[in-house]
Amino acid sequence: MLLDQRRGSIREFIETKGFVTLHEIAESVGVSESTVRRDLEYLDRTGQIRRTRGGAAGVGEGLPAFDERENQSPGEKQRIGRKVAELIQPGETILIDGGTTTLHVAKHLAGKGVQVVTNSIPIINQLMSVSGIDLVVLGGYLYPRTGVVLGPLTVGALQNLKVRRLIFSVGGITEAGLFNQNSLLVDTQKQMLDAADEVILVTDSSKFGHSELVHLCPLDRVDKLVVDNGLSDEWRRIVEKNGIELVVAE
């Protein structure tokens, strides 16, 4: 394999997985770890990946920065956030995944008297000084540009938790199920799904009809969908067919 091809393969492998060890990279491209170290130094120096202790992480080029995404469909996200907050009862323990739509949920939790578990730095900043919110913070690797904590440490913490509801979003939705941008995100979200009694998907209607790189779960893994009123009639039928309770945020 030529030098540029190998480095391109390494970059794609890292972006797909989100975070990988030096050994995993060496196995994936069939070269020594010392060769991988030199390639990682170059890719890090040129801004294509981020070196970490014992491996490397993607820089999130396939995922727009948090501030950019927050400006997409702000009205719809605000209405969705308000509607979801109305569903939450005082005293519940809820798990909120990172994302711009879930941040709008957090913004409407004041006065609810709930315990919130989250891996999102923006949500932590939003709730840390809100009276009546008992905040539990998940640790792990802070993924570049997104403000979300992910990876094995986060998954390990989630394995010891059980919550009333999970509130989360994804990058794409098709009849095959839910998708997100890389394996690191998906591995963490899979453990979140297992930790929750009820799974609530929050998303604007633009996410329907296209996939992302990594499959998360089938549609029927979701208990409740909260979406804006732009959802098509066809997708409303698909949601109903999969036994998902549909809540439209008008």
Give the residue from 146, 209, 148, 139 showing the smallest Cα distance to 179. 209
Is the pLDDT confidence value at 61 over 60? no
- Same domain flag for 190 and 210: yes
Cα distances from 149 to residues 4, 37, 80, 122, 155, in angstroms, run 31, 25, 23, 11, 10
pLDDT in tens, 137-146: 999 888 766 7
Q: Are residues 141 and 17 in the same domain?
A: no
| Final residue before a domain boundary, out of 14, 38, 57 | 57
Specify the number of domains making up the chain.
Answer: 2
Pure H helices in 30-119: 33-45, 66-70, 74-87, 100-106
Q: Are residues 25 and 139 in the same domain?
A: no
User: 169 and 101 in contact (C-beta within 8 Å)?
Assistant: yes
Residue 156 sits in the same domain as residue 39? no
Q: What is the DSSP letter of 68?
A: H
Q: Compute the average pLDDT of residues 60-64.
A: 49
pLDDT confidence of residue 69 = 46
- Cα 216 to its chain centre, rounded Å, is 10
Does residue 100 sit in the same domain as residue 149? yes
- Strands 214-217 and 177-180 turn out to be antiparallel
Using CA atoms, how far apart are residues 225 and 27, in angstroms rounded to an integer? 40
**Poorest-confidence range of 72-81, 180-189, 220-229?**
72-81
- Clarify whether residues 14 and 113 are in a common domain: no
Sheet holding 177-180, edge to edge: 172-174, 177-180, 214-217
Token pair belonging to 211: 């996939």
> What confidence tier does 66 reach under pLDDT thresholds 50, 70, 90?
very low
Residue 199 sits in the same domain as residue 221: yes
Q: What percent of the chain is modeled with pLDDT above 70?
A: 93
Here the CATH number for the domain that contains residue 171 is 3.40.50.10470
pLDDT of residue 74: 59
Whether residue 125 sits in one domain with residue 14: no
Is the pLDDT reported for residue 63 higher than 90? Answer: no
Mark which of 37, 57, 77 sits at the end of a domain: 57
**Residue 221: other Cβ atoms inside 10 A:** 15
160 and 245 co-located in one domain = yes
Domain at 7, CATH number? 1.10.10.10
The whole domain housing 27 covers 3-57
pTM above 0.85, yes or no: no
Same domain, 77 and 27: no
User: Does one domain contain both 73 and 46?
Assistant: no
Query: Quick one: 146 and 207 in the same domain?
Result: yes
